[in-house]
Structure 1
């Protein structure tokens, strides 16, 4: 994809035409909607649901089971980052043993990803109840980690049939996790702006999603109990996740999948540390994306603005502090360039190494093309 064609501009898209696939799902948004979980399963004609959550979210998982009003088959609080294949096998076996005909995934990307692993093999529909800002609930993208490698794919079977967004469930989300989860969502919107299958519809959602999320996060840091800010962040996560669901992933997500699957780095903090550098790598070739992000962020250099924002919010900005060794840079770069995702500029080994070196050290992002470093 050339610099001229990257990042779909409205005028060009209306002249040449575009496509957009609206993903089929039912969404309920509002304080207290978790109480309607049982009614939602009834509306869908589902009988018994296995509730999936992480160990940290077990209390919320039990709350969801209560809200199912007799439709709960059980609670499995074993979800983990990057969906290890052994956990996927456990969830599939438990769902079959309990006779569940659906999964209710409560939490962030780990729980929803586990639900997708069950849906991928057994076809059980997913009702998602997000409690973070990851956005996984809006996508047909699945991921499984086995043997130190994370495999991803797209399949309509893993798209949740219903999503209940209850801002009250995010009120106790720790500030640090709120920030990194929110910036993870922003990464989805950023890449959608220069995806080869972007469109004016996606661009509008992406710009508004970034605007909503980056306005909400400082308010959450200032007062974690700010319900308006929590609701705005959840709305932003919905929009950003929908962008990821509608478009092709690029270099940023490839990097994060390699770092997470191979090194088991924490998911959302890794996205937070990598995003400014991946955007800087592509920024000169994506003028329409830069224009949209500049409007949303109120800054002319979006890559630097996101790096600055992460620092202001107290988020990690280096892969070193997340546990990555400098010696790992070469093998991650090799993995990325061996099977790259679609990207607006060439994904070169030298370029990826330079990007990872800067992200590992926590340096400010340098805007350049395919390995060119510009201060």
Structure 2
């Protein structure tokens, strides 16, 4: 057993029904006095209520999926004008991503308050989109200094968004099994993360207004993101980043659709990971376990339903092939990626990819 594992420095607070007080405590711990709040217009009233007791220097609500460069630049300028000394992001992955984009250049600490299962709050990965190209990177300044999880904030999240967001968290689990830097600690975290999501997401589907399902799902999403941050971005995320930036697709739904196809491609070439994933699903094999969960959740199935043009398959293949990690379990070719994207575009049932048998001597 030979590996190096790095645990990212971050404070995580689970505070059911107490997010406002927990945010105030984290601002005090940072010694911050003038916070800039980053939130989408749809979350503005919630953000106002959660930060009412703080000295808010500015509320910035220009939040756009995949963080276009020009949007990030305007947010950076907005943070500089009132001399904010901390950022509080309230919302999903797009709000967190914009806060990270500001933090990377301004050096301001971020307190993230997630209202989905995106997981971005637990990683040091940033992403910016220029035109149709999304670029990601890793920077310690992008890692939020603190996370405040309050399951009660997710009770009004539409079930469809909860499902898609939760499957994004499962995608973090899958990529963490065989990412470029995956190690045994990542795989242990991933197994527990999948257990939490396996229990939590069906409970959310059955009772969206309840807290217990959201608590388990947040717990799983956090562990998944921690493992992913250590393991690095695998094939699944490379595919989704290319598609999202190129066609401006909804982030969570894209992940939800692509995930079973990447899993089917890789599991036959990664038997240890396959066994761990199957065990987490309590299923004979990984692909059947994920399929059963997706059926219970009525998960998204086809990229064409979310704005991917059919000719986009050919356009995306070269960019994905260039970005794919060299250690992906299944050998990759443009033809294999084309077949995978075609199946995901159509919503076809994923077919496990079997390794070729050696030629007999």
Q: Normalising by the residue count of structure 1, what TM-score does the alignment of the two structures yield?
A: 0.91
Match of 1:130 in 2: 114
Aligned partners of 2:186 and 2:228 also within 8 Å: no
Runs of 4+ in 1 over 3 A off after TM superposition: 369-372
Aligned partners of 2:180 and 2:325 also within 8 Å: no
Deviation at 1:201, TM superposition (A): 1.7
Identify which of 20, 34, 40 aligns with 1:54.
40
Task: Write the distance in 2 (CA, Å) between the matches of 1:33 and 1:370.
Answer: 51
Is 1:144 aligned to residue 118 of structure 2?
Answer: no
Query: Unaligned regions of 5+ residues in structure 2, if any?
Result: none
Task: Write the distance in 2 (CA, Å) between the matches of 1:223 and 1:93.
Answer: 42
Deviations 1:190-234 (A, max 9, x none): 110112422222111101111111221111111111211111111
Deviation at 1:300, TM superposition (A): 2.5
Is 1:199 aligned to residue 166 of structure 2?
Answer: no
Task: Write the distance in 2 (CA, Å) between the matches of 1:210 and 1:371.
Answer: 30
Task: Write the distance in 2 (CA, Å) between the matches of 1:284 and 1:166.
Answer: 38
Tell me the SS of whatever aligns to 2:111. Answer: strand
Match of 1:20 in 2: 5
Identify which of 281, 287, 303 aligns with 1:303.
287
Aligned partners of 2:180 and 2:233 also within 8 Å: no
How many residue pairs were aligned?
A: 355
Match of 1:79 in 2: 63
Is 1:359 aligned to residue 361 of structure 2?
Answer: no
Matches within 5 A, 1:100-179: 100-179=84-163
* Cα RMSD, aligned residues only: 1.6
Deviation at 1:92, TM superposition (A): 0.4
Tell me the SS of whatever aligns to 1:284. Answer: helix
Task: Write the distance in 1 (CA, Å) between the matches of 2:291 and 2:261.
Answer: 8
Query: Unaligned regions of 5+ residues in structure 1, if any?
Result: 1-15
Aligned partners of 1:48 and 1:73 also within 8 Å: yes
Deviations 1:282-320 (A, max 9, x none): 111111111111111112332243234223312211101
Task: Write the distance in 1 (CA, Å) between the matches of 2:198 and 2:82.
Answer: 42
Match of 1:65 in 2: 51
Tell me the SS of whatever aligns to 1:129. Answer: strand
Deviation at 1:371, TM superposition (A): 11
With 109-118 and 213-222 compared, the bigger mean Cα shift is at 213-222
Tell me the SS of whatever aligns to 1:153. Answer: strand
Deviation at 1:139, TM superposition (A): 0.2
Aligned partners of 1:310 and 1:317 also within 8 Å: no
Task: Write the distance in 2 (CA, Å) between the matches of 1:20 and 1:117.
Answer: 26
Tell me the SS of whatever aligns to 2:81. Answer: helix
Task: Write the distance in 1 (CA, Å) between the matches of 2:203 and 2:80.
Answer: 44
Tell me the SS of whatever aligns to 1:23. Answer: coil
Aligned partners of 2:67 and 2:127 also within 8 Å: yes
Is 1:267 aligned to residue 251 of structure 2?
Answer: yes
Matches within 5 A, 1:40-51: 40-51=26-37
Q: Normalising by the residue count of structure 2, what TM-score does the alignment of the two structures yield?
A: 0.95
